[in-house]
Amino acid sequence: MRRTIGRRALFFFALVVISLALYYPTPPGFRWVCLFTASLAAFWCLAFALEDLTGPAPVRPARSISPLPVTEPESPFAPPPPPGAGGGAG
């Protein structure tokens, strides 16, 4: 089975792109925040991508046999009366 990069790595890659896209619109005093978040997201993106690519191969689930039909468990309570039947306040 082919190995692919999971959703976690792609999510952090998207955060890298967004953080770098916000670099120039950010005031100069706070641009370090964009660089910090981009570098932190890049770290997690690489970590999760390496985990996905070097981890154990994904296993296909075994084909399951169709389950037996489920019957309703018996209830010790009777069903409620239909609306309008049963002594209302009057």
Per domain, the residue ranges of the chain are 7-54
Q: Is pTM, for the whole model, over 0.75? A: no
Distance separating alpha carbons of residues 46 and 9, to the nearest angstrom: 7
Q: pLDDT tens digits for 22-77?
A: 999 999 999 999 999 999 999 999 999 999 888 887 677 777 777 777 777 777 88
User: Please, are residues 6 and 45 in contact by the beta-carbon 8 Å criterion?
Assistant: no
Distance of CA 21 to the CA centre of its chain: 25
